[in-house]
Amino acid sequence: MNINGTVVIVRHKEHIDKIDALIIPGGESSTISKILAKSGMYDAIVQRVKDNTLPIMGTCAGCVLLAKKIVGNKGEITSLRVMDIEVERNAFGRQKESFEKSIEIKGFSKPYHAVFIRAPVIKKVWETCKILATIDKKIIAVRQKRFLAFSFHPELADDFRLHRYFLEMFV
Amino acid sequence: MKNLDITTLRHGTALVKKGFAKMQKGGVIMDVINYEQAKIAEESGAVAVMALERVPADIRAHGGVAKMADPKIIQEIIDVVSIPVMAKVRIGHFVEAQALEALGVDMIDESEVLTPADPFYHVDKRLFTIPFVCGCRNLGEAVRRIWEGAAMIRTKGEAGTGNIIEAIRHQRMVTSMTQTLKDMEKTEIQALAKEYSQSYVNSIKTLTNQKVKDTSIIFEKYSYNTVKKEIVDILKEIKEIQRLPVVNFAAGGIATPADAAIMMQLGSDGVFVGSGIFKSENPKKRAKAIVEAVAHYDEPEVIAEVSKDLGDAMPGIEIETIPEEQLLQKRGW
């Protein structure tokens, strides 16, 4: 991407103190939630968000974990509650209904080819949260302050524009 | 003006199928036989569950023809958990696969743990919208399954034994051959592709009793030439990236957190635990411990900590004591 920096994988709470920005990628949100809690990373992230020193980009499961509200959550996920959004998990359906599609993102001149895997949808946004992209009125990309959430997987595409957007705007 | 491309929604593409498998990376997929177990697996941090009628250890003990699980059980599990649900079909049984796809299963395991249905061919996995995982003992089996459209590969190991030795054998077979590819020249790779295509050639020879030519159709709509050419492409990619081009899990005999972690250190992207959890003394505790061991596979302190006081693991079987014809890993080709 021609941007200088080091990519590290965070697995411990100590790692959280050493990074400038965090990406929470796809995976199973319930599993990631448990690992965050058990490792102490949950508290470390919440603290840095409170101090306003940690920009975060969340994709798919990461988007779910950033949300203040999760539709139908019976306690299997403890989200970080950093963005004013309500998210519905697996909102397009099961893997059969997973898809790829070119989408338009606010501020991007060319379409972005996005991959949706058992993807969540952002049902509601409030406060200062801004919508960046939708499919059939379903919200799939949002931005609020130093946080970005996407219901698809930029990590599965060869197109680094969203990573660049995150890094250049926030870091 | 909207670009036409903007309106198209593409389901079941290779990217979508392989993408699903990638989202399982670093995780543990657990065998469950009912929704109660599925709930425990989810609460323990499993990234997905494999819905079965019997775990492999019981399939081994039960004998008879092992088939796709009762869709009622699978449906109950789908209704109860929010994580993906996978299920097994017999090798080559594409109608069991169609039924599971219709049911809404997220991934199909074309598995040697069930009794094979087709003596000649595995399922043509490209024809399905949902992704498949398939077992392998070596790079040849892995490459054939990838060519047939598998989105994930796992070691076969020896399921239902609680004995890790075969899974390690199969992981090492794949890794060593992948390294060997690095120094192979074009002609050597072509020869290897020819060798890896042989099982299709053997099947069609048995079926037709004819000499196989380059233009002969040897699997579904594919000619011998096409198969060789596409296998060369897969081998070139493996040579280049020095790993399988799809997600690679460990399976077959994983019983302890350390078993799971050794597979990760040997290059697996995640693990399947079959009988190892619900055949042990304390399934919940063991399930959580294995999830943590996989997340922190290269941190001995964590492995030591989570391995404490788990109660008895499943008893386990020495591979040498299993009669040759009862080895599950020999199924498939």
How many pairs of residues across A and B have Cβ atoms under 8 Å apart?
Answer: 103
- Dist CA A64 CA A123 (whole Å): 11
Which among B109, B185, B187, B176 is positioned nearest to B138, based on CA atoms? Answer: B176
Tell me what pLDDT residue B5 has: 56
A32 and B CB contact within 8 Å: no
- CB hemisphere CA count around B217 (13 angstroms): 4
Q: Which residues share a beta bridge with B270?
A: B249
CA-angle at A59, arms to A55 and A64, nearest 5° = 90
**Whether pLDDT at B2 is above 50:** no
- Dist CA B211 CA B67 (whole Å): 35
Tell me what pLDDT residue A1 has: 73
- Per residue in A60-73, pLDDT (tens digit) is 999 999 999 999 99
State mean pLDDT over B73-99: 97
- Dist CA B171 CA B25 (whole Å): 16
Give the Cβ contact number of residue B53 at 10 Å: 19
A76 and B CB contact within 8 Å: yes
Is A30 in Cβ contact with B23 (below 8 Å)? no
DSSP letters along B99-113, please? HHHHHT-SEEEEETT
CA-angle at B109, arms to B274 and B54, nearest 5° = 40
- Dist CA B285 CA B137 (whole Å): 30
Q: Which residues of B touch A99 (CB under 8 A)?
A: 9-11, 16
State mean pLDDT over B21-25: 97
Interface of B with A (CB under 8 A): 3, 5-6, 8-13, 15-16, 19-20, 22-27, 42-43, 45-48, 78, 82-84, 101, 104-107, 129-131, 291-292, 295-296
Q: Which residue of B has its CA nearest to A116?
A: B16
**Whether pLDDT at B217 is above 50:** yes
Which among A33, A116, A90 is positioned nearest to B46, based on CA atoms? Answer: A33
**Whether pLDDT at B154 is above 60:** yes
Tell me what pLDDT residue A32 has: 96
A115 and B CB contact within 8 Å: yes
Which among B162, B81, B86, B305 is positioned nearest to A89, based on CA atoms? Answer: B81
State mean pLDDT over A82-99: 97
Is A76 in Cβ contact with B48 (below 8 Å)? no
> Is the separation of the CB atoms in B247 and B151 below 8 Å?
yes
Tell me what pLDDT residue A113 has: 96
**Whether pLDDT at B39 is above 60:** yes
Tell me what pLDDT residue B6 has: 56
State mean pLDDT over B96-100: 98
Tell me what pLDDT residue B3 has: 44
**Whether pLDDT at A170 is above 80:** no
Which among B289, B218, B296 is positioned nearest to A11, based on CA atoms? Answer: B296
- Annotated catalytic residue, options B2, B17, B39, B88: B88
- At residue B7 the predicted structure's pLDDT band, cuts being 50, 70 and 90, is low
pTM of the entire predicted model: 0.95
Choose the closest CB to B15 out of A60, A97, A115: A115
A27 and B CB contact within 8 Å: yes
| Most B CBs within 10 Å, among A96, A104, A155, A156, to test the B interface | A96
DSSP letters along A119-152, please? --EEEEE-TT-EEEEEETTEEEEEEETTEEEESS
Percent of residues, chain B, with pLDDT higher than 70: 98
- Dist CA B262 CA B260 (whole Å): 6
Tell me what pLDDT residue B333 has: 86
Mean per-residue pLDDT of chain A: 95
Tell me what pLDDT residue B1 has: 37
What's the ipTM?
A: 0.95
How far CA B100 is from CA of A149, B78, B85, B90, in Å, comes to: 33, 11, 10, 12
Q: Which residue of B has its CA nearest to A89?
A: B82
How far CA B320 is from CA of B83, B165, B279, B304, in Å, comes to: 37, 11, 21, 30
Domains of chain A and CATH, by start: 13-168 (3.40.50.880)
- Dist CA A150 CA A169 (whole Å): 16
Alpha carbon of residue A133 to chain centroid = 14
Its sign, for the CA torsion B258, B274, B104, B95, is: positive
- At residue B315 the predicted structure's pLDDT band, cuts being 50, 70 and 90, is confident
- Dist CA B53 CA B73 (whole Å): 8
- Dist CA B13 CA B130 (whole Å): 9
Choose the closest CB to B82 out of A90, A100, A101: A90
Q: Which residues of A touch B8 (CB under 8 A)?
A: 101-102
Which among B212, B259, B251, B230 is positioned nearest to B329, based on CA atoms? Answer: B251
Its sign, for the CA torsion B120, B125, B130, B131, is: positive
**Whether pLDDT at A168 is above 90:** no
Lowest mean pLDDT among A144-158, B23-37, B309-323: B309-323
Is A11 in Cβ contact with B296 (below 8 Å)? yes
Percent of residues, chain B, with pLDDT higher than 90: 90
Q: Which residue of A has its CA nearest to B294?
A: A35
Residue type, A91: A
Choose the closest CB to B295 out of A11, A26, A30: A11
- Per residue in B155-198, pLDDT (tens digit) is 999 999 999 999 999 999 999 999 999 999 999 999 999 999 99
Catalytic-residue membership of B88: yes
**Whether pLDDT at B60 is above 90:** no
Choose the closest CB to A117 out of B16, B78, B296: B16
A28 and B CB contact within 8 Å: yes
Which among B29, B261, B258, B268 is positioned nearest to B142, based on CA atoms? Answer: B268
**Whether pLDDT at A95 is above 80:** yes
DSSP B24: T
Is B47 in Cβ contact with A99 (below 8 Å)? no
State mean pLDDT over A130-149: 96
Q: Which residues of B touch A101 (CB under 8 A)?
A: 6, 8-10
Mean per-residue pLDDT of chain B: 95
- Per residue in A107-136, pLDDT (tens digit) is 999 999 999 999 999 999 999 999 999 999
Its sign, for the CA torsion B229, B232, B234, B236, is: negative
Is A95 in Cβ contact with B20 (below 8 Å)? yes
- Annotated catalytic residue, options A60, A63, A88, A129: A60
Question: Residue B312 has which token pair?
Answer: 């008895």
**Whether pLDDT at A45 is above 60:** yes
| Most B CBs within 10 Å, among A15, A31, A134, to test the B interface | A31
A48 and B CB contact within 8 Å: no
CA-angle at B150, arms to B148 and B153, nearest 5° = 125
How far CA B310 is from CA of B29, B39, B49, B204, B305, in Å, comes to: 19, 20, 21, 50, 11
Which among B279, B282, B235, B234 is positioned nearest to B253, based on CA atoms? Answer: B279
> Is the separation of the CB atoms in B319 and B52 below 8 Å?
no
| Most A CBs within 10 Å, among B18, B22, B74, B294, to test the A interface | B22
Lowest mean pLDDT among A162-171, B43-52, B142-151: A162-171
